[in-house]
Structure formats: C-alpha cells, structure tokens
Chains A and B, each alone.
Chain A
C-alpha cells in the first residue's frame, strides 16, 4: 500500500528548495532589497494558502515567482511594512564583512567593481522604469532564461527581449553620461 502524498510537506520541501531562487527574484523586483526576505516570506504564505489554485501547468517555482513579483510591486505601498524594521548601516557593514552564511553565499560584490562604481550602477538601475528594470535584473539571476522571465511576468518573449535591449541601452547611456 502506497502512502498518500502529503501536500503540506510537498510544499514545504519545494519552498525550501526554491527559496534562494525566490529571494533573487524578490531582490530583482523590490525597490529596496532590504525588504526581499519579507517579500519572500509573504509570497510563500500566500502560495501556501492558495495552493488549491495552482493548476500544475508550470513549475511550482515559476508560480511562486509570480507571487513574489506581485508582492514586491505592492510591498512599497505599505508604509507600515516599510517601518516594520529598521536596518542600520552598521549591521549591513558587519554582515558584509563577515562574508559567508550557511544558507546563501553571495558573490563578493567588491571583488571586481569598486564600491562607488557599484553604487552608481545600482542607482542608475533603480532609475530605470520598472518594466525595463525588472527583466534586466531577472536576467542576471543565476540560471534565469528569457522564456522563464516571460512566463513569470506573463508577457511574450519578444517583449522581454525588447525591454532588456532598451534597459541595456538606457543604462549604457546613463553610465556614459555619468562618467563625463
């Protein structure tokens, strides 16, 4: 006799597996990366509650990614959430200097690019319109492809390519102007 699959434990397993991936999506989608953890948490909660609406026509991580993007877009509208937690610069610096963490080991951002340059680029990326910024940053997520972005954002692949093209073009000219 085969035991019936437990949907709760299945979801937990899937959520644990794709959590780093979802965190990257949240970082790409959120206005402030500080909110990314909260966004993922809320998206997982919503996904768990709305599990019966998952039709199985796409991978679970794509379905959860869609929720992450929607939550991220709406997240900044809630002032209460923005004030929920204060993050101090000292904490950020300390964590960055500490380096690795068991759950996630991000590449050292200061390895290749000077910190000032990185902050400049980050600022210019933030200035891009949301519809351009999102595909551009999502394409930088490890293993992310144009078809996957199109599936998550629910837009045609050609639109994704076009937006990525214009995002790169704008970013390039913005950085050139900044350098002059």
Chain B
C-alpha cells in the first residue's frame, strides 16, 4: 500500500480518532514523522486546543461575574425602563420642535410686528367670525416665486424666441413689420397687465407685431391674450425684464422703456412712438 499525503489526508480523521488499524496507524505515524506538510496540518488541528481552553476560561469569568453581580430589583428595572421611555419622549419632542422651527419663527415675527389696522380695532368686539388661522399667511397674497433667470452668455444671439408651438423665430421673421415686444415676469403682475393693455390698444394695427416674451419659461397668466413667445437664450436686444422695446422694420431698436407704471402714460408714450414710426 502506498502511503502518501493523499492517503494520510483521507485517513486523518481515523488517525485522529484512533480508529485506524494497528498496521495503518503505524504507517500513518511514520508518514507523519517524515512529511512536513502533513505534520503541519495535524499540528494545526491541535493548535486550536489552547484557544478553546482560553475561551472556556473566558466564559467561566463571565459566568462568575454574573453570579456575583448585584441582582437588580424589579423596582430598579421598572425605574430604568421608565427613564428610557422618558428619554425617548424628550428626544422625540426635541426632534419635532426642530422640524417645526421655521413655521414657529415666522409666527414669532408676525407677533412682533402686528398689523396696525388690527391694533386699532383691538378694543372693539368683532361680529364676524374669522375661521382662518390668525397667523396663517393668505396664499393669494404670497408672490409667486419666479424660477431663476437663465444665464445668458455674451455671444448669445441678439434676438431669438420660440413660439408656444415650438417654432424658433428671429428678427428676420418680423422684418417687414414694426415689432413691439415686452419682457414680462409672473412675479411682477403689472408687467403682463400693461402688456395686455398695449395689445388691446394697438393689437389691431396691421404694420405692428406685439409680442409678450417670457424669459423664464413661465406660462401666460390667466386672462392675457397677447401673443406670447419664450426667450431662447438670446439677449433680446438688451431689453431687461419688465421693459419693452420698439424695433423698426430694419431691425433697429427705436425705443425702449419700462413696462412698470401707469398704463395710460405707457399707452400714450407708445402711441406717439408708433405714429412716429408709421405703424398703422
């Protein structure tokens, strides 16, 4: 019989358990004496013994410590549990308050700056029942927060807009007509209202094209009927938000002014300019 490492590995368990026959046991012992790798493998199994002994000692220490640890009474345990619950409750309240803080600080500032008209009526009992929360701001009075103004680079085209249908337009497309365009913004409602008044006043002139340009991709406010386009990253002939410009048939800006202000004054100014340019 050939005694090699494979044979020894196969019979390792039997050798370990001393269940090998006398002859085989002798052969295995001899192989173990001569083969270094098998001897290492066999010794490695025994190397765990001191570790296991240490583990048992470690466990004994724990058992002993537990046996002589002071026994906690039921009252102590209940007290500890109550303290844990109370701590959790406090933590919950703190976290809740932190999440509610912005609303609370708004209320506080409102309380510090009360409405003077309310202060006058303070002494008189009010007959009307106000069912709204006193500190809740009226959502209708809140200005619409506009989206950020898109960045326009220096080498952007002078004038390029997109119609709601998706067609791109440049000044060339309005070359044969006088162009009046105003840049409105939803956060300044008077700009779109004044533009609407201009459209109502001059929209029927055949030589004139009126455009309301939205530079921030905002949709036309309700009730407005002026032709609306979106700015496509152009500089709009240096016309800013809440301003309007009148461009002649050759594509030159002839007049530029603000859209903010009294609409009648605005209309009279524009009328004078359009008549001067011959827009009928």
Q: How far is the CB of B64 from chain A (nearest CB, A)?
A: 6
Contact for B71 among A85, A109, A113, A162, CB less than 8 A = A85
User: Are A165 and B16 in contact (CB-based, < 8 A)?
Assistant: yes
From B60, which residue of chain A is reached at the shortest CB distance? A106
From B18, which residue of chain A is reached at the shortest CB distance? A161
User: Are A27 and B45 in contact (CB-based, < 8 A)?
Assistant: no
User: Are B61 and A125 in contact (CB-based, < 8 A)?
Assistant: no
Interface residue total, chain B, C-beta cutoff 8 A: 35
B65 interface residue per 8 A CB criterion: yes
From A161, which residue of chain B is reached at the shortest CB distance? B17
Q: Provided the pairs A96-B65, A121-B55, A171-B52 are in contact, do residues A23 and B47 lie with their beta carbons within 8 angstroms? A: no
Contact with B along A94-135 (1 / 0, CB 8 A): 111000010010111100110000100110010000000000
Interface residues of B in 56-87 (CB under 8 A from A): 56-72, 77
B54 interface residue per 8 A CB criterion: yes
Q: Provided the pairs A136-B52, A168-B48 are in contact, do residues A85 and B19 lie with their beta carbons within 8 angstroms? A: no
User: B-side binding surface: helix, strand, loop or mixed?
Assistant: helix
Which stretch of A33-41, A44-52, A147-155 is in the interface? A33-41
User: Are B62 and A137 in contact (CB-based, < 8 A)?
Assistant: no
User: Are B63 and A140 in contact (CB-based, < 8 A)?
Assistant: no
Contact for B63 among A33, A94, A139, A158, CB less than 8 A = A33
User: Are B54 and A104 in contact (CB-based, < 8 A)?
Assistant: no
Q: How far is the CB of B222 from chain A (nearest CB, A)?
A: 67
Instruction: Note all chain B residues with C-beta closer than 8 A to A108.
Output: 57
User: Are A112 and B63 in contact (CB-based, < 8 A)?
Assistant: no
Q: Provided the pairs A112-B54, A158-B19 are in contact, do residues A169 and B69 lie with their beta carbons within 8 angstroms? A: no
User: Are A121 and B60 in contact (CB-based, < 8 A)?
Assistant: no
User: A-side binding surface: helix, strand, loop or mixed?
Assistant: helix
B49 interface residue per 8 A CB criterion: yes
User: Are B49 and A140 in contact (CB-based, < 8 A)?
Assistant: yes
B13 interface residue per 8 A CB criterion: yes
Kindly state the separation between the CA atoms of A138 and B48 in the bound complex, as whole angstroms. Answer: 14
B44 interface residue per 8 A CB criterion: yes
Instruction: Note all chain B residues with C-beta closer than 8 A to A165.
Output: 13, 16-17, 45
From B58, which residue of chain A is reached at the shortest CB distance? A109
User: Are B64 and A121 in contact (CB-based, < 8 A)?
Assistant: no
Contact for A85 among B13, B16, B72, CB less than 8 A = B72
User: Are A118 and B70 in contact (CB-based, < 8 A)?
Assistant: no
Q: Provided the pairs A37-B67, A95-B69 are in contact, do residues A113 and B52 lie with their beta carbons within 8 angstroms? A: no
From A159, which residue of chain B is reached at the shortest CB distance? B17
User: Are B58 and A122 in contact (CB-based, < 8 A)?
Assistant: yes
B53 interface residue per 8 A CB criterion: yes
From A133, which residue of chain B is reached at the shortest CB distance? B52
User: Are B49 and A91 in contact (CB-based, < 8 A)?
Assistant: no
Q: Provided the pairs A158-B17, A158-B19, A172-B48 are in contact, do residues A118 and B68 lie with their beta carbons within 8 angstroms? A: no
User: Are A109 and B54 in contact (CB-based, < 8 A)?
Assistant: yes
Q: Provided the pairs A91-B70, A158-B19 are in contact, do residues A36 and B52 lie with their beta carbons within 8 angstroms? A: no
Interface residues of B in 216-230 (CB under 8 A from A): none
Q: Provided the pairs A86-B72, A87-B69, A140-B55 are in contact, do residues A175 and B63 lie with their beta carbons within 8 angstroms? A: no
B51 interface residue per 8 A CB criterion: yes
Kindly state the separation between the CA atoms of A171 and B53 in the bound complex, as whole angstroms. Answer: 13
Q: How far is the CB of A8 from chain B (nearest CB, A)?
A: 24
Contact for A107 among B17, B51, B57, B72, CB less than 8 A = B57
A26 interface residue per 8 A CB criterion: yes
Interface residues of A in 50-98 (CB under 8 A from B): 85-88, 91-92, 94-96
Q: What are some 24 contacts across the A-B interface (CB < 8 A)? A: A23-B63, A24-B60, A34-B62, A35-B66, A85-B71, A86-B72, A87-B65, A87-B66, A87-B69, A92-B69, A95-B69, A96-B61, A96-B65, A101-B64, A104-B60, A107-B57, A121-B51, A121-B55, A137-B52, A140-B49, A158-B17, A162-B13, A168-B48, A171-B48
Closest 5 CB pairs of A and B: A95-B65, A161-B17, A91-B69, A36-B63, A109-B58
